[in-house]
Amino acid sequence: MSEAPTRPNRGYGRWTPAWFLAPAVLALLLIGIYPTIFALVTSFRRYNITRPRDGFPFIGFENYISVLTDSTFWSSLFLTAQFYVTVLPIQIMLGLIIALLLHKPGMGLLKSLARVTLVVPLATTYAVVGLIGRLIFNRDFGVANQLFEAIGVGKIDWLSSPTGAFAAIAIMDIWQWTPFCALIFLAGLSMVPGEIEEAARLETSSKLALLRYVQLPYLLPGLTAVMILRSADVLKLFDMVFVMTRGGPGSATDLISIYIQRVGFRIFDLGTASAQAILLLIITIIISRLYIRLFYREVH
């Protein structure tokens, strides 16, 4: 500190990076952090905008206590977790199968076509996925029931029975996100050095052994990425489910984002909803720290 700086001239001053960074940092602080602080403050108030006459008094941890003792809050968190453990294994399995199909040599044109079509589910607007779900899973004229009847399962009351509705949103989520898993795994498979894969193919004719001993190590980073990213996405999941079921019937598809939205914007109990949102934020921060720790430890 006391010595004169003797570092080489890098062609820029000490504050130059700040000039480039300041606009983005200030914007995100204002748009992201300021509202978060506002939510934190609101979470300590009684804040129901349908009853402005009460004022918005500070009530300490009362909102948090009522949220943490609210069985609906816990059950929608539990339902979110249940959704995650339902869709994720299927997405991973299907994604892996598709990736292996796409990785296999041959079938040039058909393979390119399959690869390109994988982008379609990923690009489809989430709300529109919900609309499609409403059409496909209609009890009377939905094509899902036609297909199920064809294989002898019979009519299912998709959107108006709890299990049916849960299955329907799970199927739409699997449709939308399996391609993502497939593309990640495909990227992993293409990292396997060609010579090693060739040599392994000569050694063994077992596809399973090849997968387990040669390809799996290259698939693991992608697998971790899928698990963490999907867990953050499921916590955010709103659009498709809102359009398809609004959280119903009853609370069968009342995932955490849907529940908080209902408390905030149907019941207008913004104090309670803010406390819920802050708790959700804490869960998200834990997950994203995990994400950073797993992926970016070695960067920089």
Partner 1 sequence: MRLSSGKLLHAVGLTAVVLFSLFPFYWMVAASFKTQADILASPPVWVFTPTLQNYADIFADTKVSGAIINSLIVATSSTVLAVLLGAPAAFALARYDFRGKSDLWFWFISNRMISPIVLALPVYLLAIQVGLLDTHLVLILIYLTFNLPIVVWICTDQFKSIPSDLEQAARLDGANQFIIFRKIYLPLGAPGIAVSAIFSFIFSWNELLYALVLTRRNVQTAPVVATSFMSGYELPWGKIMATGTVIVLPVTIFALIVSRHMVRGLTMGATK
At its nearest, how many Å lie between partner 1 and the CB of residue 115? 8
Site string for partner 1, 200-239 (x = CB under 8 A): ---------------------xx-xx--xx--x--xx-xx
User: What does the block give as tokens for 258?
Assistant: 């849907």
Site string for partner 1, 70-109 (x = CB under 8 A): ---------------------------xx--xx-x-xx--
Helices (H), 52-70: 62-68
DSSP lists the bridge partners of residue 45 as 58
At its nearest, how many Å lie between partner 1 and the CB of residue 15? 10
Contact between 249 and partner 1 by CB under 8 A: the answer reads no
SS3 per-residue string spanning 152-209: CCCCCCCCCCHHHHHHHHHHHHHHHHHHHHHHHHHHHHCCCCHHHHHHHHHHCCCHHH
User: What does the block give as tokens for 176?
Assistant: 């939308």
**Phi, psi of 231, deg, nearest 5:** -65, -40
Q: What angle do CA 60, 67, 80 make, to 5 degrees?
A: 145
Residue ranges in 116-155 that form contacts with partner 1 under rule CB under 8 A: 116-132, 134-136, 140-143, 146, 149
Residue ranges in 148-187 that form contacts with partner 1 under rule CB under 8 A: 149, 172, 175, 178-180, 183-184, 187
Residue owning tokens 């994988």: 118
User: What does the block give as tokens for 191?
Assistant: 């990292």
Residue ranges in 29-48 that form contacts with partner 1 under rule CB under 8 A: 31-32, 34-36, 38-39, 42
At its nearest, how many Å lie between partner 1 and the CB of residue 161? 18
